[in-house]
Structure 1
Amino acid sequence: MRTIAEINDKITRKSAVVLTVEELKARVAAVGVTKAAKEVDVITTGTFEPMESSGAIINLGHTDPPIKIRRCWLDGVQAYSGFGAVDLYLGASCSVDSIDGEEVKERGGGHVIEDLIAGKPIHVRAVGQVTDCYPRATFETTITRDTINQFYLFNPRNLYQNFIVGVNGGDRPLFTYLGPLQPRLGNAVYSNPGAISPLLNDPELQLVGIGTRIFLGGGIGYVAWEGTQHFPLQKRLPNRTPIGPSATLALIGDAKQMDARWVRGCYFKSYGPSLMMGVGVPLPVLNESVIEHCAVQDKDLVAPIVDFSIPRRVRPTFGLVSYAQLKSGRIAIENRNVRVAPLASLFLSRKVASELKQWIEAGKFTLTEPVASIPMERSFLPQDRWLDF
C-alpha cells in the first residue's frame, strides 16, 4: 500500500494522517481494518517505565596537563573509565558510594543522568594512571551538559516486548526490581503497559530494526542493536504476541537534546537505583497487516504471574493473566483477590505516544528505513555450569 518514502513525503508536506495506537484501536473498532489501513499513515506507540539496563557515554575533554582517568565519580556515583583517557560510562543502576563517609542509598546513576540532562551542575572527582602521555594524577571539577563534549545515552536493554507479573507467595516482604512485594500474595506488580506498548504492536519486529528513528527521553534516538537478553523465541499466542519476556532493543540517542521530563532517576527500596524513561516508536502503515497487529487489545495479551519467594533463576508461576485483568486493579490467584498495580506509568506512556504524534504532524520527525533487521532466532543461554548457590 505505501512505502516509507511515500509516508515521509506526506510528513514533510504536513499531510500525513497520524494516530496514536489507542486512537487506531478505536478507529478499527469503528470502521474495520481495511478502511483504517487506507486512512492512516503512521501509528505512534509509547511507554514510560523503569529501564535499568541504561547508561550514558560521557567525554569530559582533556585537562592540562592531561589525565588518563582510571577511577572517576560523578556526584559520588562511580563511572566506568576503562577505555579512552577521558571517556566514561555512567550506569543508571550504579549507587552512590558515599558522601562524607556516609552511605547514600537512594541516589544513583539514573539521578545523575537526569540532573545532567536538566542542566544541573555535577561534581567530578577523578584519579588517573600517571604515564608520559598523561602526567596528571588527580582532577576535580564541576561539569554541566554544556561543558562536556559527547553526552549520549547508550542503553543495552530497553523496550522489553513483554514482561512478568511479580508476586510473593512467601511469609516476609521482598524488595525487588518491581518494587516491594507483600507476603502471602499481598499484592502484584506488572511492568509493561500492555496494548499501547511499542513492541506488542509489532510482534515479529517487521517494522522496527537497526537504524529505526524513535522518541527517546524527549529527544530523537535510534535502535542500535538487539538488546541484551533478547529472546524472540519465547512461546507466542496465535496473534504472535509472546506470553512472557521476549524481544528487547538496544537504544542510543543524544542526551543533550533530551528533556528531564522524560528521563528520571528513581530508587527501589532495598533494591537500588534505576532510570525511568519515555520511549516512543512510530509504526508506518505499509499494509493491512500493520493495522491487524496494532488492533490488538489488552484482553488478547498475557503475562506470567511469577512467585519471587523462590530465590532461583527459574521461579514457579501461577499461570498467565491478561493485561485487561491486570488493568482492572485486581486479579485472582489461588482463589485470592489480589490487588495489582502497574510499574509503568500508563498516563505518561500515552503522553509519549501523543507527543511523538505531534512531532510527526508538525513535520519535525520523519521515519527511517532500518538498515538491518533485528534477529528473530536468538535463544536464551543461562549460566548453569556452576550449581553452587
Structure 2
Amino acid sequence: MRTIAEINDKIHRGQVVAWTVEELKAQVADIGITQAFKTVDVICTGTFEPMESSGAIINLGHTDPPIKIRQCWFDGVPAYAGFGAVDIYLGATAIAESHDSNDLRDQLRINSQRGGGHVIEDLIAGKAVSFKALGQATDCYPRASFENTITKDSINQFYLFNPRNLYQNFIVGVNGSDRQLSTYLGTLQPELGNAVYSNPGAISPLLNDPELKIVGIGTKIWLGGGVGYIAWEGTQHFPLQKRLPNRTPIGPAATVALIGDAKGMSAQWVRGCYFRNYGSSLMLGVGVPIPVLEESVIRDCAVRDGDIVAPVIDFSIPRRVRPTFGLVSYAQLKSGRLVIDGKKVRVAPLASIAFSRQIAEELKQEITTGKFTLTEPVAMLSRDRSFIPQDPRGSSVSLED
C-alpha cells in the first residue's frame, strides 16, 4: 500500500516513477502486475476529444455607471447572464446569432459555424473579442447597455466549468437509412457508409479506474494545458451501466464535472470546432493521474483495447433508445474496419489518439520534474446513480434497458 502523501514526497525529491498508461500496459505484459506495482508510482492517462457539455464562467468587472447584464454576446455568440450583475456563463455550443432575420431557424443556419467554443479558444489564445450587453436599469445599476472589446487580461475570473466531461465509455454511431445524417459524432453516411466513435479506448482516463476507486471529487488534473480539478459527478453520470467481468462498462457510464483556470490554459488544447449541420463544440485535452496506491490499480490499468467494448448504434431511428448492431471492441474500432450485417464499414475516431498520447506524456513530464503534485479526493464519485430519462412515465433506466 502507498499513500498520496508518500507519492508527493517522492515528486518533491525527484524520485517519483511515472509511466504513461500505454507504458504501463507494455510493462505489465513484460514484467507482470506485481513487479509493475513495486516499480511505478503514478500512471498518466489522457484524452483529446469533443466535450460539448463545457463552458466558461466570466466576470467582466463593473462598468461606470454599473450595469446589471440581462442579455449579452461575445462576437455575436449569446451567453447566459441570469445570475450576478456581471457574471456570465458562455457555453461551448452556443452559436452566433444573426439579427438579419427574426426567424431563429434562419439565424441558426446562417451563423452556426462559430460558437462559444471558438470564443473560449480565442480568449485563451489572448485574442481580442467584442462584447455587447443589454442591462436591466435599476437604481443601483442604472446603465442600460454596454459595448467593449475584451481579452483574458481585461476581465477578472475566466475559468472553465464543464458539467459533463470524460465519459467513461461511449457509443459507435452508424446510419442505416438512405440519407446522410448530421450528428454530434459528425457526418454519418447512408447505408452503413461509415462508423464513428469518440472515446480513445484503453488510454481513456476513467476506463483505467473502472470502479471509481481512485478518481474522485477534488482530484487534481491536467486540463487544457493548465491545472484543473474534478468538481463533482458529471451530468448523466451512470455508473450502473452493465459491465464486463473486467468491470469496464459496455456503453456510456460515469462522467465528471471539471473546473480550471482558463487563463493558465493553452489554445493548443482548448479548441472550438464545428460539426457540419449540427453545430459548434469544444475539443478539449484532459490528463488524469492515477496514483498507484495498491496492486489492484495496476490490474485495472492493464486493460487493453481488445478487452473493452462499445455498442454500435443506428442513428437513423430518431428515438432516445435506438437499435444496436451489437458490441465491438476498441481493438476492432482502431483497426479502421468493421463488418456490420456482412458489410465492411470504414471507421474513424473523433478523439485524437496522437494528442491523447501527447497529453499523457506531458502530464508524466510535469510529475517527474516536480511541477505537478497529486491531491486526495475529498469525496468519492457516486457508484449507484441511476439514469432518469424525461419520459411521461417518469421512471429510471434499469440495467436491463
TM-score w.r.t. the length of structure 2 is: 0.95
Root mean square deviation, CA, Å: 1.1
Residue 373 of structure 2 is aligned to residue 356 of structure 1: no
Q: Aligned residue for 2:203?
A: 196
Q: How does 1:153-302 map to 2 (within 5 A)?
A: 153-302=160-309
Distance 1:146 1:55, change over 3 A: same
Residue 105 of structure 1: how far off its partner (Å): 2.2
Aligned pair count reads 387
Q: Which residue, out of 317, 326, 337, partners 2:333?
A: 326
Residue 76 of structure 1: how far off its partner (Å): 0.4
Distance in 2, Cα, partners of 1:226 & 1:41: 26
Instruction: Output the amino acid matched with 1:212.
Output: T
Distance in 2, Cα, partners of 1:68 & 1:6: 49
Distance in 2, Cα, partners of 1:263 & 1:100: 31
Unpaired segments ≥5 residues, structure 1:
none
Instruction: Output the amino acid matched with 2:142.
Output: P
Q: How does 1:94-173 map to 2 (within 5 A)?
A: 94-98=94-98, 103-173=110-180
Residue 322 of structure 2 is aligned to residue 315 of structure 1: yes
Distance in 2, Cα, partners of 1:99 & 1:118: 28
Distance in 2, Cα, partners of 1:13 & 1:306: 49
Instruction: Output the amino acid matched with 1:176.
Output: T
Distance in 1, Cα, partners of 2:247 & 2:341: 28
Residue 11 of structure 1: how far off its partner (Å): 0.5
Distance in 2, Cα, partners of 1:386 & 1:161: 28
The secondary structure found in structure 2 opposite 1:58 is: strand
Q: Aligned residue for 1:6?
A: 6
Instruction: Output the amino acid matched with 1:369.
Output: E
For each residue in 1:109-133, what CA deviation from the matched residue of structure 2 results, as whole angstroms up to 9, or x when unmatched? Answer: 0000000000000100000000000
For each residue in 1:29-80, what CA deviation from the matched residue of structure 2 results, as whole angstroms up to 9, or x when unmatched? Answer: 1100000000000000000000000000000000000000000000000000
Residue 104 of structure 1: how far off its partner (Å): 1.7
Residue 386 of structure 1: how far off its partner (Å): 7.8
For each residue in 1:160-201, what CA deviation from the matched residue of structure 2 results, as whole angstroms up to 9, or x when unmatched? Answer: 000000000001000000000000000000000000000000
The secondary structure found in structure 2 opposite 1:265 is: strand
Instruction: Output the amino acid matched with 1:178.
Output: L
The secondary structure found in structure 2 opposite 1:146 is: helix
Distance in 2, Cα, partners of 1:283 & 1:243: 22
Distance in 2, Cα, partners of 1:98 & 1:122: 17
Is the 1:108–1:273 contact (alpha carbons within 8 Å) kept by the matching residues of 2? yes
Instruction: Output the amino acid matched with 2:94.
Output: C
Distance in 2, Cα, partners of 1:51 & 1:105: 17
Residue 14 of structure 1: how far off its partner (Å): 1.1
Distance in 2, Cα, partners of 1:204 & 1:129: 48
Q: Aligned residue for 2:85?
A: 85
Residue 82 of structure 2 is aligned to residue 75 of structure 1: no
Is the 1:92–1:275 contact (alpha carbons within 8 Å) kept by the matching residues of 2? yes
Q: Which runs of 4+ in 1 moved over 4 A?
A: 99-102
Distance in 2, Cα, partners of 1:2 & 1:134: 55
Is the 1:76–1:99 contact (alpha carbons within 8 Å) kept by the matching residues of 2? no
Q: How does 1:44-63 map to 2 (within 5 A)?
A: 44-63=44-63
For each residue in 1:340-381, what CA deviation from the matched residue of structure 2 results, as whole angstroms up to 9, or x when unmatched? Answer: 000000000001100000100110100000000000100000
